[in-house]
Amino acid sequence: MLNDPLANALSKIRNSEKLGESSCIIRPISNIIKRILVIMNEKGYIGENSVTEEAKGGKININLLGKINKCGAIKPRFTVKDGQFEFFEKRYLPAKGFGILIVSTNQGIMTHEEAKEKKIGGILLAYCY
């Protein structure tokens, strides 16, 4: 039984990276997982992915590049105001400017850097470096 599909997807990616695999399959998928994978692709952590819709949730085939040291879901999902990102950067990322926090805001899912530029807060979903 899946309690948190996002956490399961990110741990599957991390475990496949550790094993040196070139691809992995994530199932089930959701719009949040799709958007987080798009952000990770834009930042260069994973390669292209292809979505296959099925009757029971579908699946995503992800090409791995071997550039992820660690990624995971943030539990509990902390709410963050505009000036509080540095506290969570120190908590989840190894160094300043190294890695990304993924935040759900009222303007969509984005990285913490984009949220800082727009001066908005949100809810922390995941981290990757």
| Confidence class for position 1, pLDDT limits 50, 70, 90 | low
User: Domains in the chain, ordered, with CATH?
Assistant: 5-64 (3.30.1370.30), 74-128 (3.30.1490.10)
Distance CA 115, CA 104 (A): 9
Distance CA 129, CA 70 (A): 6
The number of angstroms, rounded, from the C-alpha of 50 to the middle of its chain's C-alpha atoms is 17
Tokens of 29: 């998928």
Mean pLDDT for the stretch of residues 73-79: 96
Stated pTM of the model: 0.92
| Angle of the 31-42 helix axis to the 5-19 helix axis, nearest 10 | 40
Tokens of 15: 């475990």
pLDDT tens profile 20-73: 999 999 998 999 999 999 999 999 999 999 999 887 778 999 999 999 999 999
